Amino acid sequence: MARPRRKAGPGSRSRLLAAATAEFAARGYDGVSVERIARRAHLNKAMVYYHFGSKEGLYREMLREIFRAVGTRMREIVDAPARPAEKLQRLVAAFAQEISQRPQFPPIMMREMVEHGAHLDAESIRLLLVIPLTFAEVLGEGVAAGSFRPVDPMLAYFSVLGPVAMLTASGPMRAAAAAKIGLDLPTPDESQLIEHLQHLALAMLNAGPDGTGPAGSGAHA
């Protein structure tokens, strides 16, 4: 194995993770080599093996770091004292902000969905599931309190948070449309997206007077 150009240090690991995130988002797992990642990080590929053991190890740790960051923030919101509607609004905002900081995450996960999660191990899946499970927990609190109508948690999760990933992942395609046919599709900024999804979530989930339907004008309660 070739000797690293630089000694392993605290910066080499993070540089490799950043390079891997960009490469995997652009080319998918099979389209990226260890050498390409190392070159992008300005390191010898031996550093990949030093820190992560393999390309697969690097890929999984990249995903785990993202899952941990998003899941930890959402878990803190759920555990804090607040009404279910307030927690729901905070979850929407936190998820949108975390994805905004990691625009490569949606295309990586969409590739994984197409490939049936082929590169996810049990630990990665457990960390990923924290995100929908915390969302479902807030829904359960709202239903128990009578403020949310009963809904399928997975349908609600994809209805409310799915658009964040879709909007982010479709950015390059919208840019291509603008370049090829001159169709400039306006993209909402982060605050507009958060406000829209918060309104959508509460309008969809808030229980009406009989506890089973939308509350109409009470959607912002």
Q: What is the pTM of this model?
A: 0.82
Question: Which of the following CATH numbers is that of domain 56-210: 3.30.300.30, 2.102.10.10, 2.40.50.1020, 1.10.357.10?
Answer: 1.10.357.10
- Segments making up each domain of the chain, as ranges: 8-53, 56-210
Could you tell me what percent of the chain has a pLDDT over 70?
89
User: For 83-118, what is each residue's pLDDT tens digit?
Assistant: 999 999 999 999 999 998 998 899 999 999 999 989
**Short-list 107, 111, 96, 154, CA closest to 129:** 154
CATH fold group of domain 8-53: Arc Repressor Mutant, subunit A (1.10.10)
Tokens of 26: 């652009």
> Which pLDDT value is given to residue 175?
83
User: For 110-152, what is each residue's pLDDT tens digit?
Assistant: 999 999 989 999 999 999 999 999 999 999 999 999 999 999 9
> Which pLDDT value is given to residue 219?
39
Q: Give the list of residues 6+ apart from residue 48 with CB closer than 8 angstroms, or none.
A: 16, 34, 37, 38, 54, 55, 58
Determine the Cα–Cα distance for residues 216 and 204; give it in Å rounded to an integer. Answer: 10
Confidence of residue 184 (pLDDT cuts 50, 70, 90): confident
